[in-house]
Chains A and B, each alone.
Chain A
Amino acid sequence: GESVGLHLPTLSVQEGDNSIINCAYSNSASDYFIWYKQESGKGPQFIIDIRSNMDKRQGQRVTVLLNKTVKHLSLQIAATQPGDSAVYFCAENIANNNDMRFGAGTRLTVKP
């Protein structure tokens, strides 16, 4: 079946650098996407979302980019901090469906 996936399982960056986490999705009918952050021992925490009628959305230090042509989603974290170390995963919702499909996640490690 179709699923959400990730290009890299791990990402290590230097504190202060920008981080880019990628996600590929395969269902062209997906119209709502979310990025979650999951710290050890905790549940997923909402970071930012985007609908398919947008290409870009910005939050505080985070930006999500959506490329519908190649079915690609990315999360950019500016000036990465040690507190950003976590597993990040994307989720997609297919239009008019009542569930979300989640990717396996990328572990981000921030080196001091």
Chain B
Amino acid sequence: GIQVEQSPPDLILQEGANSTLRCNFSDSVNNLQWFHQNPWGQLINLFYIPSGTKQNGRLSATTVATERYSLLYISSSQTTDSGVYFCAVERDYGGSQGNLIFGKGTKLSVKP
């Protein structure tokens, strides 16, 4: 099956710093999403980005589908950005079943 690798696994930042999270995937995809899991376990949709670039406030994401990677940028980080960031993909093989395959996540801690 498709492999999804996220890096780094852990990241500690000082408030105000910028960061880049990476997601590599091993096969063609027709869906890629970034999520933030808060301390209560809820998954918050950040970006639906199978290709191209999107921005939402201090967050932006870029997916280069032909090179099989996606990047999530966090600028001017805040303590509320802490949590686990997941990349998830849906493989494109014609007979798509619709479900997402998740990476192992990047655990981000932003210190005041």
Question: Is B truly associated with A?
Answer: no
